[in-house]
């Protein structure tokens, strides 16, 4: 009789939902990387990425790609804001009392984002993707596709902006494209629809660069933040044989600019050691007389993310997951620098 009662008690406990972790699984969609897969299941952030890697160890393809024939385990939900009651807000809104915000520039698949914490509250960022409008920047030809620097730099800037906003920052996206939001494809369509915050971008290089630095400096005057930083994101074009790590230029004689560049380098070095132990990171921090650095008032850095012509570097910007990783690490570099500035 005692054994019968014990057996019935166990059955009853199971039927009422005794706490247990039920592993949810799903197949990836065509072209989907880890970050996109996790975002589709409302699991965003480095913590979810790390847990995904732990749960699915040994199940990934080459270079940590998802295999279409494998059902992957989805990390359990952590203590993050709910994704309900979406409200319309614009980039730069300091309000953090709403759990979900909206920025149309990010595109239909990414326009809603969670406010995760206030760790960057009070910080102002000016994000500039290189070239745009009539100037596409460097060009690479890959698998019969012509790839333009401005499209990939813009995609990474949008991902960076979204990350910073999730931590309560004020973000100014200087180069904008109302047509192209964040895109998860390998080969991003080329266009000339970018503007400087709604203003047509001049063809003349000097006027083009002055337009964006003037815009930053005007926005800077309106800001009351003690911490204002600008970043100019580019992809280099060199011999196809030359592989490059991400490298940084800072404003000569501006200590805050040098500190930011060093914090970025340290962050990337740590991340490479975490994800590719033993590989090493050779990215450099140097100063260079560039128009955008010379004429921007807030402390600024200029970043070269890859050599567009090198076959190994191409993986870094062609794959959406790698573009997201670059954005994540840049955001972590800003967070590190902001913390150090206090």
Question: For 87-108, how does the pLDDT look when each residue is reduced to its tens digit (9 = 90+)?
Answer: 333 344 444 444 789 999 999 9
- Whether the pLDDT of residue 149 is over 60: the answer is yes
Q: What's residue 97's pLDDT?
A: 43
Parent domain of 305? 100-341
Question: What is the average per-residue pLDDT within 135-158?
Answer: 97
Task: Round the average pLDDT of the chain to a whole number and report it.
Answer: 89
Q: What's residue 168's pLDDT?
A: 96
Its pTM surpasses 0.75? yes
Q: Read off the pLDDT band of 127 (50, 70, 90).
A: very high
The answer to whether residues 37 and 186 belong to one domain is no
The contacts of residue 38 (CB under 8 Å, 6+ apart) are: 44, 48, 49, 52, 74, 75
DSSP 72: E
Task: Give me the number of domains the chain comprises.
Answer: 2
More confident residue, 32 or 137: 137
Cα atoms in the Cβ-side hemisphere of radius 13 Å centred on 259: 15
The answer to whether residues 286 and 336 belong to one domain is yes
Q: What's residue 272's pLDDT?
A: 94
Q: What's residue 22's pLDDT?
A: 57
pLDDT tens column, 226-247? 999 999 999 999 999 999 999 9
Question: What is the average per-residue pLDDT within 270-277?
Answer: 92
Q: Per-residue DSSP letters for 218-268? A: HHHHH---SEEEEEEEEEE---TT-----EEEE-TT-HHHHHHHHHHHHHH
The answer to whether residues 37 and 106 belong to one domain is no
Residue 85 lies in a domain: no
Residue 2 lies in a domain: no
Q: Which two tokens stand for residue 272?
A: 């490479």
Q: What's residue 293's pLDDT?
A: 98
Q: What's residue 21's pLDDT?
A: 46
- Residue 54's SS3 state is helix
The answer to whether residues 167 and 63 belong to one domain is no
CATH number at residue 180: 3.40.630.40
- Whether the pLDDT of residue 12 is over 60: the answer is no
The answer to whether residues 245 and 324 belong to one domain is yes
Q: What is the CA radius of gyration of the chain?
A: 22
Q: Read off the pLDDT band of 314 (50, 70, 90).
A: very high
The answer to whether residues 162 and 236 belong to one domain is yes
- Give CA 233 to chain center in angstroms: 12
């Amino acid at each position: 009789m005692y054994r019968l009662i014990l057996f019935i008690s166990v059955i009853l406990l199971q039927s009422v939902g005794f706490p247990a972790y039920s592993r949810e699984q799903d197949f990836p969609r065509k072209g989907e990387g880890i970050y996109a897969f996790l975002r589709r299941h409302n699991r965003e952030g480095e913590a979810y990425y790390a847990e995904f890697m732990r749960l699915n160890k040994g199940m990934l393809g080459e270079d940590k790609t998802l295999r279409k024939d494998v059902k992957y385990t989805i990390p359990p939900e952590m203590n993050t804001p709910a994704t309900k009651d979406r409200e319309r807000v614009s980039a730069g809104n300091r309000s953090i009392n709403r759990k979900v915000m909206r920025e149309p520039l990010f595109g239909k698949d990414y326009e809603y984002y969670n406010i995760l914490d206030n760790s960057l509250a009070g910080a102002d960022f000016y994000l500039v993707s290189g070239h745009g409008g009539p100037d596409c920047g460097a060009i690479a030809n890959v698998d019969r596709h012509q790839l333009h620097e401005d499209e990939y730099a813009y995609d990474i800037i949008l991902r960076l902006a979204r990350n910073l906003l999730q931590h309560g920052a004020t973000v100014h996206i200087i180069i904008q494209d109302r047509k192209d939001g964040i895109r998860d494809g390998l080969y991003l369509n080329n266009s000339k629809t970018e503007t400087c915050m709604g203003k047509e971008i001049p063809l003349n290089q000097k006027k083009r660069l002055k337009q964006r630095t003037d815009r930053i400096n005007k926005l800077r005057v309106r800001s009351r933040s003690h911490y204002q930083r600008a970043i100019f994101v580019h992809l280099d074009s060199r011999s196809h044989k030359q592989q490059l790590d991400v490298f940084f230029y800072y404003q000569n004689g501006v200590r805050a600019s040098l500190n930011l560049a060093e914090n970025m380098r340290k962050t990337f070095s740590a991340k490479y050691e975490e994800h590719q132990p033993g590989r090493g990171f050779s990215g450099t921090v140097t100063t260079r007389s560039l128009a955008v650095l010379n004429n921007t008032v807030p402390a600024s850095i200029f970043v070269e993310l890859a050599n567009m012509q090198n076959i190994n570097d191409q993986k870094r910007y062609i794959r959406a997951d790698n573009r997201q990783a670059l954005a994540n690490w840049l955001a972590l570099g800003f967070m590190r620098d902001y913390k150090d500035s206090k």
